[in-house]
Amino acid sequence: MASVQLLLDLDSETPIYQQIRDRVVEAIADGHLAAGAALPSTRQLAVDLAINFHTVNKAYDLLRREGIIRVNRKSGAIVHPGVKQPITDAEAAADWRRRARTLLAEADVRGLSREEIQGFVRTTLDRFSDLPTTEPRPDAGSTASRATTD
């Protein structure tokens, strides 16, 4: 079982289940959790974090629905073997673009400059050293609801 420390901010406005989800995704991107790595059981993680196990269940369910982990009642949760593969599902790709657009909109609303945003993105991408450097797909900029994005 992979040993990854998930740091949560219990005073944050971000729900704890979302923080767990985000920390697991970051651990995968950082290379601390590899495809196929076992995650702690929901009960064990709840004990480790001193939180309700239903909160961990909610986080794991979200990760499962997003295709990031697999959950088996007998063997537990593992990082999906296909994680870090190119997105082939058009709906998943469109969902990712919508979430990225919302984050960029939030940065704009909070007054961050283009340079600050680009600098943060570059620094963050550099952390994920195994990102592919291939050309973007032709549909990389499209969205499902183009009329509402401009």
* Residue partners of 79: CB distance under 8 A and separation at least 6: 2, 28, 33, 34, 35, 36, 37, 39, 68, 69
Structure tokens at 37: 């790595």
pLDDT number for residue 17: 98
* Residue partners of 96: CB distance under 8 A and separation at least 6: 87
pTM of the shown model: 0.74
Q: What is the mean pLDDT of each run of 10 residues along the chain (150 residues)?
A: 80 97 94 94 95 97 94 92 82 88 95 95 83 53 39
| CA gap 109, 84 in Å, rounded | 31
Cβ neighbours, 10 Å, residue 15: 12
Structure tokens at 134: 């291939």
pLDDT number for residue 150: 35
* Domain limits, the chain: 16-79, 90-148
Q: Does domain 16-79 have CATH number 1.20.1260.10?
A: no
